[in-house]
Every structure is written in structure tokens, then in C-alpha cells.
């Protein structure tokens, strides 16, 4: 008779990660730190700014990872990802602004935004049948621009350039205070509930994406990326797989948009539809490493932290080097974008395949020596 033995922690962790680990000790350490900090951010940091930044990191992890499903795994270069992001956010904003802060309005608005984003993702994917390479990318850019113009012009529906401000269900509202005293030094309120809703949903979506790219479906996507004609010759319907990948990525981006809307309790064209956000997503994926999922997660954390804390860090260095005018001028905080570009150049030079991609390659090289 065979005795039953429970699975080890390591095997459970591997199953949770779908057998796909970061592939290098440094990458594993960075991911462990990221998950730990996001899980305990309200306990680790005082004030709302740091917790709001952590929530943005979690949202952009999903957004960048979903874009990696298109770019890194399927080989689709699309500039319409922020359109899906905005559709999810506008779905929530329009529903809550029009029907009031109820859970039913939240669910209906989220479902409408996510569903419409998935259908639009399929429609855009079908364009790749007739238009390829840079021409397809330009069409997606045009579609995203049309979406931004419509959001600005349809004032009665979207609020125009001013956007929509709305209230959220009481459980997520900042005025929600179930306890008069802090618990373990943390004040339990609607902001905390919103943060952990964002964290849990983001973690679940990331694990689902990991499971997806390590399934037979994900292996077919990689085959299409490498040689779509060979994949077609092997009997795989390339258009079906591309359409499904686009729909899934669009739905994930729309969910990230709903989370962003809940975090801000506001949405406007500049908040979720801006082309600068698309550039940020692309940089997150490239810096972290395309086709890894872990890379975009690390890239998202680095980009969001740089956007929020690089300028104050330069301000500190400028004050510290005040006795040396030339050195102090180099660290002027209004030059933070220049420093961000310099850091990006360093990453490209020393990590040509992205942080996780290059670390994985080095790990494989050291194993074969």
C-alpha cells in the first residue's frame, strides 16, 4: 500500500508559479522583495503616498505583464494597449457616476468595460491578417488616438477633458472606519480595503498569466512569434490564437483600468488614455525583459518608483552638493527625465535582453560551463 505524503512547500510553490520561476537567484530575490513589499506596504510605510504608489505598482504589473503577452510571447507590436486600459476605467467611472456608489453599478461597469475591450482586442487582432509589421503598429496607434479624441469630445458621457469624479461603494470609501483605533498600527479604512483589493486581484491575474504562458496555448503563441508560417503549416490556426491572445491581453488591461479608477475615484483622458502611458508600458516590458512576465513586473516597479521618487532623490542630492555649484546643477530635480533616460541607457547596455532576460541567459550560461 502506498502511503500518502503531502506535497512539499517547494513543489506547491512551483505549481503556484506554473513551474516557471524567474530563472536566476537575483531575479528571484527581486520578485520576492516586490511581492513582500506589496503584500505588507500598509504595515511598512506610513502615509497615503507610499501606499498609493504601491497600489500603482501592482496595477502596472498587470498592465505591463498583459502587454508582454502580446509583445513578448505573441510578437504583436500594438500601441492600443492604453485604449483597453481606458475602457476598463471608463466603464467603472461612467457606471458609478451615473448610478451611484453601488456594488451592482461597479460590477456592471467593470463587465461592460472588460467585455468591450476584449471584443475590440479581437477586432484589432484581425487587422493583422491584412496589415503587418510597422503598418499594423501604426493602425493600432491611430485607433488609440481615436479613442482618446472620443473620450475628450463625448463630454456628456465621459466628462470630456475634465473627466469623471465618482464615489465608490462604502466599503472602499475613505470615510469607511469600522474601528476607532488602529489595528497593529494600521488604520483600517476604505483606502486600506481598496489597496488590498488591488493587490489581491493583481496577484491573481499575474498568476493566471503565468499559467497561461506555460500552457500548450502559450507554447503555440511562442511558436507563432518565432515563425507564424511554420506554425500555420503545423496545423495551428494563427488568426485564432492571435485573436485569443489579444482578447485576453485587452481584458487584463481593462481590469487594470478598473483598479486604477477605484484607486483614484476619478478617470479622464490623461489618466488612462495618454500616449505617455503607452510609452511607459513599453519601457517596463523592455527594461524588465520581453517574454518573461517577471521582467515586466520588475520593470513596472522600477518605472513607477522612478516617476515618484527620482525627483525627490535628486532634490536631496542637489541640496547635499550645494557647496559645489556645478555638481549641484547636475542633480537639479527638474532634470529627472534626463536621469531616467540615462538609467535606461545603462540598463540597455548591461542588460540587452532586459533585466530578467539577461539574468536568465547568464544563469543558463553558467550551468552549461
Q: What is the pLDDT of residue 264?
A: 94
CA dist 143 and 122 (Å) reads: 13
First to last CA, the chain: 44
pLDDT higher at 23 or 281: 281
Lowest-pLDDT range of 14-23, 145-154, 191-200: 14-23
Q: What is the pLDDT of residue 367?
A: 53
CA dist 183 and 169 (Å) reads: 22
Q: What is the pLDDT of residue 6?
A: 47
Percent of the chain past pLDDT 70, that is, above it, reads 91
Confidence check: pLDDT of 20 > 60 = yes
Considering just the CA atoms, what is the radius of gyration of the chain in Å?
22
Q: What is the pLDDT of residue 299?
A: 95
CA dist 39 and 157 (Å) reads: 36
Confidence check: pLDDT of 363 > 90 = no
- pLDDT tens profile 109-147: 999 999 999 999 999 888 766 776 788 888 899 999 999
pLDDT band at 14 (very low <50, low <70, confident <90, very high): low
Lowest-pLDDT range of 89-103, 251-265, 315-329: 315-329
| Helix axis angle, 48-68 to 190-213, nearest 10° | 20
Q: Are 285 and 70 in contact (CB under 8 A)?
A: no
pLDDT band at 15 (very low <50, low <70, confident <90, very high): low
Confidence check: pLDDT of 16 > 70 = no
Confidence check: pLDDT of 369 > 60 = no
CA angle 93, 97, 103 (to 5 degrees): 80
Q: What is the pLDDT of residue 129?
A: 66
Q: What is the pLDDT of residue 347?
A: 86
Helix (H), strand (E), coil (C) string for 122-185: HHHHHHCCCCCHHHHHHHHHHHHHHHHHHHHHCHHHHCHHHCEECCCCHHHCCCCCCCCCCECC
Q: What is the pLDDT of residue 12?
A: 61
Confidence check: pLDDT of 240 > 70 = yes
Mean pLDDT of 264-271: 93
CA angle 56, 10, 351 (to 5 degrees): 50
- How many C-alpha atoms does 76 have within 13 Å on its Cβ side? 35
Q: What is the pLDDT of residue 135?
A: 81
Lowest-pLDDT range of 51-60, 142-151, 289-298, 336-345: 336-345
Positive or negative, the CA dihedral 37, 191, 116, 103 is positive
Q: What is the pLDDT of residue 195?
A: 95
> In this structure, what are the phi and psi dihedrals at residue 267, rounded to the nearest 5 degrees?
-150, 140
- pLDDT tens profile 157-188: 999 999 999 999 999 988 887 877 776 667 78
Confidence check: pLDDT of 4 > 70 = no
pLDDT band at 84 (very low <50, low <70, confident <90, very high): very high
Q: For domain 22-176+184-368, is the CATH number 1.10.10?
A: no
Q: Are 193 and 168 in contact (CB under 8 A)?
A: no
pLDDT higher at 205 or 335: 205
Confidence check: pLDDT of 361 > 70 = yes
Q: What is the pLDDT of residue 323?
A: 85
CA dist 207 and 54 (Å) reads: 18
Residues making up the chain, counted from first to last: 369
Amino acid at each position: 500500500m502506498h502511503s500518502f505524503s503531502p506535497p512539499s512547500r517547494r513543489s506547491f510553490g512551483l505549481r503556484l508559479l506554473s513551474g516557471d520561476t524567474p530563472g536566476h537567484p537575483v531575479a528571484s530575490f527581486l520578485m520576492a522583495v516586490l511581492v513582500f513589499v506589496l503584500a505588507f506596504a500598509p504595515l511598512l510605510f506610513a502615509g497615503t503616498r507610499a501606499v498609493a504608489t504601491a497600489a500603482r505598482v501592482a496595477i502596472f504589473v498587470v498592465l505591463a505583464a498583459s502587454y508582454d503577452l502580446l509583445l513578448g510571447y505573441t510578437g504583436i507590436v500594438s500601441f492600443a494597449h492604453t485604449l483597453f486600459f481606458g475602457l476598463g476605467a471608463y466603464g467603472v467611472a461612467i457606471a458609478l457616476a451615473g448610478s451611484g456608489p453601488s456594488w451592482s453599478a461597479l460590477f456592471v461597469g467593470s463587465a461592460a468595460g472588460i467585455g468591450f475591450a476584449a471584443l475590440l482586442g479581437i477586432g484589432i487582432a484581425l487587422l493583422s491578417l491584412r496589415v503587418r509589421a510597422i503598418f499594423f503598429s501604426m493602425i493600432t496607434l491611430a485607433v488609440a488616438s481615436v479613442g482618446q479624441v472620443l473620450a475628450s469630445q463625448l463630454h456628456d458621457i465621459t466628462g470630456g477633458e475634465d473627466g469623471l469624479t465618482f464615489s465608490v461603494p462604502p466599503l472602499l470609501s475613505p470615510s469607511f472606519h469600522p474601528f476607532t483605533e488602529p489595528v497593529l498600527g494600521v488604520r483600517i479604512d476604505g483606502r486600506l480595503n481598496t489597496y488590498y483589493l488591488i493587490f489581491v486581484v493583481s496577484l491573481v491575474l499575474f498568476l493566471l498569466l503565468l499559467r497561461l504562458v506555460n500552457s500548450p496555448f502559450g507554447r503555440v503563441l511562442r511558436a507563432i512569434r518565432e515563425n507564424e508560417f511554420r506554425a500555420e503549416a503545423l496545423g495551428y490556426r494563427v488568426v485564432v490564437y492571435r485573436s485569443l491572445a489579444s482578447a485576453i491581453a485587452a481584458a487584463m488591461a481593462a481590469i487594470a483600468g478598473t483598479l486604477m479608477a477605484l484607486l483614484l475615484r476619478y478617470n479622464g483622458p490623461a489618466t488612462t488614455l495618454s500616449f505617455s502611458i503607452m510609452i511607459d508600458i513599453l519601457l517596463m516590458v523592455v527594461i524588465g525583459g520581453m517574454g518573461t512576465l517577471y521582467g515586466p513586473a520588475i520593470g513596472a516597479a522600477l518605472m513607477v518608483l522612478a516617476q515618484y521618487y527620482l525627483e525627490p532623490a535628486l532634490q536631496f542630492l542637489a541640496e547635499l552638493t550645494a557647496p559645489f555649484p556645478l555638481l549641484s546643477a547636475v542633480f537639479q530635480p527638474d532634470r529627472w527625465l534626463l536621469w531616467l533616460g540615462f538609467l535606461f541607457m545603462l540598463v540597455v547596455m548591461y542588460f540587452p535582453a532586459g533585466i530578467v532576460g539577461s539574468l536568465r541567459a547568464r544563469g543558463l550560461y553558467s550551468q552549461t560551463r
